[in-house]
Amino acid sequence: MKNIEEINNAHIKKILAKKKIPEFFAGDTIKVGVRIVEGKRERIQYFEGVCIAKKNRDINSAFTVRKISFGEGVERTFALYSPIIGSIKVIRSGKVKRAKLYYLRDRKGKSARILEKIKKSIGVDVSEQITEDENKKEVDVVENKSKVDVKKEDSKKENLIKDDNTVEKTGLKKKELKKDKK
């Protein structure tokens, strides 16, 4: 005979096969698409706010979203695997030290702000190119170019810049050209 936990896990796998649920935590600003049935028609209404609590209990998992609407705080608790949830999208990740953010209920304005968690990238893209020259293998590391590097290369490509007096300068920017005129 199947255990209740096994039945719940089977239902969760079935639900996750149909829709994708992103990983989010308390403090994240999320946008929940809620299915609303009005007579014969069905539509999706979005509820965007800060996730103040998340409870992970298999099929009974739930999360609470809080938003300020016309100066009043509105909270709504959703079952994570409920069929009324059409989509969940993480707008920004918050940097908090607690699992439950119930203290936000008492706060308004700037004191209710949450710092944003910034995901850092190291800026190095590693790609392996294996070439065999006399039984030797070489691995190349290609650095990921940022926008600043690309702009510098574009300015280097335009080596000759002509100003109003048709004097050729190499590698100078417009500000430097104006200084040279004076």
Neighbour-count burial for 154-169, b at 16+ CB within 10 Å, e otherwise:
eeeeeeebeeeeeeee
Percent of the chain with pLDDT over 70: 65
- Please write the tens of the pLDDT for every residue from 59-95: 999 999 999 999 899 999 999 999 999 999 999 999 9
pTM of this structure: 0.63
Residue 135's pLDDT is: 47
Q: How far is CA 94 from the centre of its chain?
A: 11
Task: Give the residue-averaged pLDDT of 113-132.
Answer: 67
CA distance 158 to 177: 14
Give me the mean pLDDT over the 141-166 stretch.
Answer: 47
Count of residues in the chain = 182
Between CA 123 and CA 118 the distance in angstroms is 14
- Please give the residue that has the higher pLDDT: either 122 or 117: 117
pLDDT digits (tens, 9 = 90+) for 159-174: 444 444 444 444 555 5
Q: Which domains are delineated in the chain?
A: 4-112 (2.30.30.790), 145-182 (no CATH)
Query: Cα 87 to chain center, whole Å?
Result: 15
Q: Of residues 175 and 161, which shows the higher confidence score? A: 175
Q: Is the pLDDT of residue 17 over 80?
A: yes
Dihedral sign, Cα of residue 42, residue 46, residue 52, residue 56: positive
| pLDDT for residue 57 is more than 50 | yes
Highest mean pLDDT pick, 36-40, 152-156, 161-165, 171-175: 36-40
CB distance 79 to 56 below 8 Å: no
CA 171 to CA 157: how far, in whole Å? 9
Instruction: Name the residue with higher pLDDT: 156 or 91.
Output: 91
